[in-house]
């Protein structure tokens, strides 16, 4: 779960990482009551990246200028996300810009601290073009990230004196935040020199979805579409895509493969939906209901390989809640015979071969196009 | 597991010590279970909230492997489990995996027995049902399996593709390996780097998520393309460069295996 910049900065402030003085507004008129020294910066609060390039960050020298920017940015569409809030902060005289992050290193099975003197730009670009500018420390979770790690990291990006001391404090604090808030990423980019201190100009925190239950105090952001939220509430894993063939399968890998098979034969999947291991009749009914709600869906492809999931449960789910569009079913595995009997009684043929079934569903959609 | 020949000697459920499940004694702690029964491996079904504690306990008792079936384990919990396992020289499989089986000999996990057939092909995968699909295809063509390992769908898992490839390369019962990867992370690319130095056994690959959009988590916690890393195209390319045959569709895997075994 991604946090908005202002939410991440609230966490920073709570843990003791210095941030600029600022406030959040939802309407341009709210600027009138804002007690900040001009010039100020207005920043669109969206979860997608690239807001700067999209015109979502503006500097204002006066109140009227600020109002003008606020009117332009609020309601703006940035990569499909509507701007509902602005973070307004006092502009800072920024010197050098650094990068600091704690991120899960999947290959090393460890949390890694990453720092660079090339802050303010995309760290992935730095990693590709000038990997020597990136300093890294792998962290033993039982030992933790100690101040000496911070000093080593800081020295490796060229810091000395007060700034080095500041960096040690900021990095150890950010580590503590990362662990206590269950973040899979906590990032400051840029971590900038303002006067003789380090200040977090931007803040990015992504909380591990699997650990959100441990943090009832954290805000709940939904990067998800309405249908995706509905699916999540039903315990289904659903991702909206832009095609016209709805897909239901069991197991994330099998559903991903199903999308690939459909695309291979020229079809365009409308979604990813994993009914999960041990899916019940009720799960199946909900799954059909959700995929059918997406506008523009022309056909449904159900691809089930029964393991813990039983084919008869799936078949009952299908027959008790038939989708309002043509459907192709591939059904194989546990209790397959009973599943097929139930479908057959309802006049539904079940395929054994997923590729044959995929070709059939693609043909159905093509036929409908004329 | 019992049906597949695994000697399940003990269960551990706090609060239920002294009871029996399917005739098998249940203990309060792993230490007691190991002391009383001589158990050597563990399979963890504990719900996500308690999975870390159960795994740390099993690793502390030096059980090997420790297979974690549980889905939804917080990643910082997994980091602690993996660190503890490294220190103790214990192999962890999972979390979020269907387990491991050597058909006809043993199974630790939840893979459906009837799909498997004893043979000489090793299968390693990040997914459950997709593994069943591909294994059924192999068995259907009369190609049996030596060992199949579900590595798990999480971003941080214990045994990696590279670890598993090393084990299968050293295994005299294995003649070829099927590697079933998916988008997210770089475990497949790491495996490809290992293969470039060790081309002793043929590898047939399949990568799921070739059409998945970036930034979207496709069901598995670990299946997400982020910052341009973890695409199926990059994984397929790396494996092909390392000499592996990579199928475009899951249905082609069995045919490719048949060709290399010929």
Tell if the CB–CB gap between B130 and A251 is shorter than 8 Å: yes
Distance from CA of B181 to the nearest CA of A (A): 9
pLDDT of amino acid B94: 97
pLDDT of amino acid A278: 76
pLDDT tens per residue, range A129-144: 888 889 999 999 999 9
How large is the ipTM? 0.95
Distance from CA of B183 to the nearest CA of A (A): 9
The yes or no reply on domain B99-261 and CATH 3.30.413.10 is no
Measure Cα distances from B68 to A109, B59, B90, B113, B159 in Å. Answer: 16, 11, 13, 19, 11
CA distance B35 to A210: 34
pLDDT tens per residue, range A92-112: 999 999 999 999 999 999 999
Residue A368 has pLDDT above 70, yes or no: no
Find, in chain B, the residue whose alpha carbon is nearest to that of A256.
Answer: B209
Chain A hits for B126, CB-CB cut-off 8 Å, are: 253
pLDDT tens per residue, range A138-163: 999 999 999 999 999 999 999 999 99
pLDDT tens per residue, range B86-128: 999 999 999 999 999 999 999 999 999 999 999 999 999 999 9
Tell if the CB–CB gap between B130 and A107 is shorter than 8 Å: no
Tell if the CB–CB gap between B210 and A184 is shorter than 8 Å: no
Instruction: Decide if B220 touches A, using CB distance below 8 A.
Output: yes
Which A-chain residues 84-123 have CB contacts (< 8 A) with chain B?
Answer: 104, 106-107, 109-111
3-state secondary structure chain B: CCCCCCCCCCEECCCCCCCEECCEEEECCHHHHHHHHCCCCEEECCCHHHHHHHHHHHHHCCCCCEEECCCCCCHHHHHHHHHHHHHHCCCEECCCCCEEEECCCEEEECCCHHHCCEEEEEEEECCCHHHHHHHHHHHHCCCCEEEEEECCCCCCCCCCHHHHHHHHHHCCCCCEEEEEEECCCCHHHHHHHHHHHCCCCCEEEEEECCCCCCCCCCCCCCCCCECCECCHHHHHHHHHHCCCEEECCHHHHHHHHHHHHC
pTM score: 0.94
pLDDT tens per residue, range A62-77: 999 999 999 999 999 9
Round the average pLDDT of chain A to a whole number and report it: 94
Nearest to A142 among B73, B80, B249 (CB): B80
Domain boundaries, chain B: 11-93, 99-261
Rounded mean pLDDT of A316-337? 95
For chain A, domains (ranges, CATH) are 21-90 (3.30.1490.20), 94-214 (3.30.470.20), 226-369 (3.40.50.261)
Nearest to B111 by CA among A94, A316, A307: A307
Share of chain A above pLDDT 90, in %: 85
Q: How confident is the model at residue A369 (pLDDT cuts 50, 70, 90)?
A: low
Q: Which helix (H) or strand (E) holds A278?
A: none
Q: Residues of chain B whose pLDDT is less than 50?
A: none
Catalytic-residue membership of A99: yes
Chain A hits for B229, CB-CB cut-off 8 Å, are: 124
Tell if the CB–CB gap between B130 and A274 is shorter than 8 Å: no
Distance from CA of A63 to the nearest CA of B (A): 37
Residue A370 has pLDDT above 60, yes or no: no
Which B-chain residues 10-39 have CB contacts (< 8 A) with chain A?
Answer: none
Rounded mean pLDDT of A208-216? 95
Instruction: Decide if A272 touches B, using CB distance below 8 A.
Output: yes
Nearest to A251 among B48, B129, B206 (CB): B129
Domain B11-93 sits in CATH at 3.40.50.720
B11-93 and B99-261 have identical folds: yes
Tell if the CB–CB gap between A269 and B217 is shorter than 8 Å: no
């Amino acid at each position: 779960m991604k946090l908005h910049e202002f939410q991440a900065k609230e966490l920073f402030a709570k843990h003791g990482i210095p941030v600029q003085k600022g406030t959040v507004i939802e309407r341009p008129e709210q600027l009138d009551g804002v007690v900040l020294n001009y010039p100020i910066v207005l920043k669109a609060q969206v979860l997608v990246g690239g807001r700067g390039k999209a015109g979502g960050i503006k500097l204002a020298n006066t109140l009227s200028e600020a109002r003008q920017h606020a009117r332009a940015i609020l309601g703006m569409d940035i990569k499909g996300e509507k701007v509902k809030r602005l973070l307004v902060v006092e502009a800072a005289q920024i010197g050098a810009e650094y990068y600091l992050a704690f991120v899960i290193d999947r290959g090393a099975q460890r949390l890694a601290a990453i720092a660079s003197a090339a802050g303010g730009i995309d760290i992935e670009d730095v990693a590709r073009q000038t990997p020597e500018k990136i300093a890294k420390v792998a962290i033993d979770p039982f030992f933790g990230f100690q101040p000496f790690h911070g000093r080593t990291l800081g020295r490796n990006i060229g810091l000395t004196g007060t700034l080095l001391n500041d960096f040690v404090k900021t990095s150890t604090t950010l580590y503590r935040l990362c662990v206590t808030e269950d973040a899979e990423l906590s990032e400051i980019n840029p971590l900038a020199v303002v006067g003789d201190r380090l200040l977090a100009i931007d803040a990015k925190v992504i909380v591990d979805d699997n650990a959100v239950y441990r943090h009832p105090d954290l805000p709940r952001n939904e990067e998800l579409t309405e249908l995706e939220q509905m699916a999540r509430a039903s315990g289904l894993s659903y991702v909206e895509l832009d095609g016209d063939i709805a897909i239901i399968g069991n197991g994330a890998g099998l559903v991903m493969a199903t999308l690939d098979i459909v695309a291979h034969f020229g079809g365009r999947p409308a979604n990813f939906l994993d009914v999960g291991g041990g899916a019940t009749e009720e799960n199946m009914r909900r799954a059909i209901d959700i995929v059918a709600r997406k506008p523009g869906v022309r056909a449904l492809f159900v691809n089930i390989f029964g393991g813990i999931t039983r084919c008869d449960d799936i078949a009952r789910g299908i027959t008790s809640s038939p989708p309002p569009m043509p459907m192709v079913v591939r059904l194989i595995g546990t209790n397959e015979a009973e599943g097929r009997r139930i479908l057959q009684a309802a006049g539904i043929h079940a395929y054994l071969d997923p590729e044959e079934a995929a070709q059939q569903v693609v043909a159905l959609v093509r036929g409908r196009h004329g | 597991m019992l049906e597949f020949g695994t000697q399940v000697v003990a269960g551990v459920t706090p609060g239920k010590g002294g009871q029996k499940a399917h005739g098998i004694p249940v203990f309060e702690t792993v230490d007691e279970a190991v002391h009383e029964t001589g158990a050597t491996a563990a399979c963890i079904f504990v719900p996500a909230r308690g999975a870390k504690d159960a795994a740390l306990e099993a690793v502390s008792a030096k059980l090997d492997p420790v297979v974690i079936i549980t889905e939804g384990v917080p990643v910082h919990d997994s980091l602690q489990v993996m660190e503890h396992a490294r220190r103790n020289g214990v192999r962890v499989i999972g979390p979020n995996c269907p387990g491991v089986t050597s058909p006809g000999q043993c199974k630790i996990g939840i893979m459906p027995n009837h799909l498997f057939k004893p043979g000489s092909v090793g299968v390693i995968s990040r997914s459950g049902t997709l593994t069943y699909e591909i294994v059924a295809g192999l068995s259907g063509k009369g190609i049996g399996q030596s060992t199949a390992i579900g590595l798990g769908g999480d971003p941080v898992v214990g045994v990696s593709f590279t670890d598993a490839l090393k084990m299968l390369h050293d295994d005299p019962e294995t003649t070829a390996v099927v590697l079933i990867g998916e988008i997210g992370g770089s475990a497949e690319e790491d495996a490809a780097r290992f293969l470039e130095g060790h081309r002793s056994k043929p590898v047939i690959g399949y990568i799921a998520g070739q059409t998945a959009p970036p930034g979207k988590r496709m069901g598995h916690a670990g299946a997400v393309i982020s910052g341009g890393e973890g695409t199926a195209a990059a994984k397929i390319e790396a494996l092909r460069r390392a000499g592996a045959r990579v199928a475009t569709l899951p249905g082609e895997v069995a045919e490719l295996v048949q060709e290399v075994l010929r």
